Chains A and B, each alone.
Chain A
């Protein structure tokens, strides 16, 4: 059995990618299963989807804890989640390097790791989402399903999309597939040097009982009992920053920020809390003086995202 785990954010199409591969594998004569894992989260929140492939009917209905392949659709997830959890030494890890290119932080594992510039390839194909590119790359790495089978799956799974968008997605699958085929050549050479561990470590029992660690009766939570989750990882390549000299302190950004990520001291605007900012850009949209600007995630900024005017004169 081959088990694939996708890590993505709500809205990035991890579920679609898992279905796409499943349909294509079916075309290739395999028994398949594809399923997402849903949480209370909304667009932008980390989520997972799974694809199982086997040569006989699949009766398992459990989550995949020891995947053979892990696909990461958003590079920021590498920092936010333990994406390689349960991935054995023979495993594949395929990460979308996004706009980060070679700067993407790849986990150090013994298996085969491949960074795919999927955002770039998607854009080249005319789509916004890297999911179909990644599906193509994974198929190429695995040697199955074939490109034709994948393209057939695109027509099937994305049948509701307008013709033009479907063509773009066919294109992006192809881009991913080609990238994977080329990468495989280099990987074959390099992976031969890698030592192979005798046996993978067993996956942690994530489903074990909480026992006495459980909170008060009735699931009562006191604020401060647990640190709230950070949501800064939801940003997709852009972050807000501010030229304080242009700011008139109207606090409209504070008012409309959905995430409480605008830092205010008393009644004075100070900047942004990147730990929580999800990158919705509302602050930029409502700023009446263009004091707020959206900049590349990687660009250097002062504390709280403050910027100095470079050419003030």
Chain B
């Protein structure tokens, strides 16, 4: 007797898809882009990216010089050197490795080094933990790097390609961090539609850094700047970061024409007539979409705002998306002890009426985020159960707020 499958529709042709992990997806994008230099240092959960790429190089599928340096600090330093010298450069990291890189990411932004950094987003120690959250990315929040967060393995692949073109755009010339949640995306195998190698090569084009160090002209790169120039130079960098709001749209549009996959800085999911909505980034947005669908099916009008471009922060798009939503929970996969978490603060700065916002911190150190938990958030918001200006904590299926006795010190 054959077991009965729960399907009601016939299968479709999915031959154009490959089942690969997010990390492998990123590595495939890198193989197709074929950067000149790839300085890197191993760290979980980034390692499958560089292992896969190294194998591609060993098999002669791309020409990248993988530079196995002795720390992430040196990886980013070598990346800045290579990118400014005139070579297309990428790297990858996570967590403590990103923490070690951050000093140089600021410099990369200031020196205008268009390095693409794949980040397998992972919790910061301590205690030491190898699983996913966004606390590492938040360290680089103010660095001048552009940050994109992927929801799926497909998006991790796509954003590596989009990120390269964005980083190297003549109005931008900034490092781009492509975030994919540690394990949830880096290590989960999902169907991914790879583009033809030649299509990707044509899309990103040759690396054409204006005035490279190894060009024919002498130049002083990275001079000392006093108060009479630092602020002006920093403003120049801020303008370039802001310009990425517009250039992201342009590049995403071009990518849509190539792939049929359309990306926006902010995705409004079933927000029409919603009485409550979640705002979040990364892989758990997928779970949230399931929760929204389920609750909508039961007659509850809820929706989701998924943010893909985190820096520059699409303030106006957020304002627009949330304009008609009376109750909003902003979900942070990171904390900022002593105040409200980063994404909440960004959203609060973007909406006219902040009293409709509540904050929930979730999934730290890879804590699972079940559908029931996200549903509890939406129900709590709808019932006005959550106190204002106090973050809630999603442990399992329930949002927890501090009340009464403190936890042992």
Contact = CB atoms under 8 A, between A and B. Distances in A.
A221 interface: yes
Given A40-B226, A219-B110, A220-B211, A214 B220 contact: no
A210 interface: yes
Contacts of A209: 231-232, 235
Contacts of A217: 112, 173, 236, 240
Contacts of B298: none
Given A210-B229, A210-B232, A219 B217 contact: no
Contacts of B232: 209-211, 214
A218 interface: yes
Contact of A219 (B218, B228, B233): B233
B226 A218 contact: no
Contacts of A59: none
Interface string A198-239: 000000001101110010111111110000000000000000
Contact of A218 (B112, B227, B235): B112
A221 B236 contact: no
Nearest to A40: B224
B220 A223 contact: yes
Interface string B228-271: 11011101100010000000000000000000000000000000
Interface string A54-72: 0000000000000000000
Interface size class of B (residues with CB under 8 A): 20 to 34
Contacts of A195: none
Contact of A221 (B112, B223, B235, B240): B223
A266 interface: no
B220 A221 contact: yes
Interface string B165-196: 00000000100000000000000000000000
A214 B219 contact: no
Contacts of A219: 110-111, 221-223, 225, 229, 233
A162 interface: no
B236 A214 contact: yes
> Most B CB atoms within 10 A — which of A206, A209, A218, A220?
A218
A296 B150 CA distance: 72
Given A214-B233, A214-B236, A220 B221 contact: yes
A302 interface: no
B37 to A, nearest CB: 18
Contact of B110 (A211, A218, A221): A218
A223 B218 contact: yes
Contacts of B236: 214, 217
Interface in A21-52: 39-40
Nearest to B224: A40
Contacts of A40: 224, 226
A222 B217 contact: yes
Nearest to B235: A209
B229 A218 contact: no
Contacts of A214: 232-233, 236
B235 A222 contact: no
B87 to A, nearest CB: 16
Given A217-B236, A217-B240, A39 B226 contact: yes
Contacts of A220: 211, 219-221
A296 to B, nearest CB: 34
A40 B223 CA distance: 11
Given A39-B226, A209-B232, A221-B223, A216 B218 contact: no
Contact of A222 (B112, B173, B218, B233): B218
Contacts of A218: 84, 110-112, 173, 221-222
Nearest to B230: A219
A46 to B, nearest CB: 13
Contacts of B111: 218-219
Contacts of B227: 207
A221 B211 CA distance: 11
Interface of B: 84, 110-112, 173, 211, 217-229, 231-233, 235-236, 240
Interface of A: 39-40, 206-207, 209-211, 214, 216-223
30 contacts: A40-B226, A207-B227, A207-B228, A209-B232, A209-B235, A210-B229, A210-B232, A214-B232, A214-B233, A216-B211, A217-B112, A217-B240, A218-B110, A218-B111, A218-B221, A218-B222, A219-B111, A219-B221, A219-B223, A219-B225, A219-B229, A220-B211, A220-B219, A220-B221, A221-B219, A221-B220, A221-B223, A222-B219, A222-B220, A223-B220
Given A207-B227, A218-B84, 17 more contacts: A40-B224, A206-B228, A209-B232, A210-B232, A214-B232, A214-B233, A216-B211, A218-B110, A218-B221, A218-B222, A219-B110, A219-B221, A219-B223, A219-B225, A220-B220, A222-B218, A223-B218
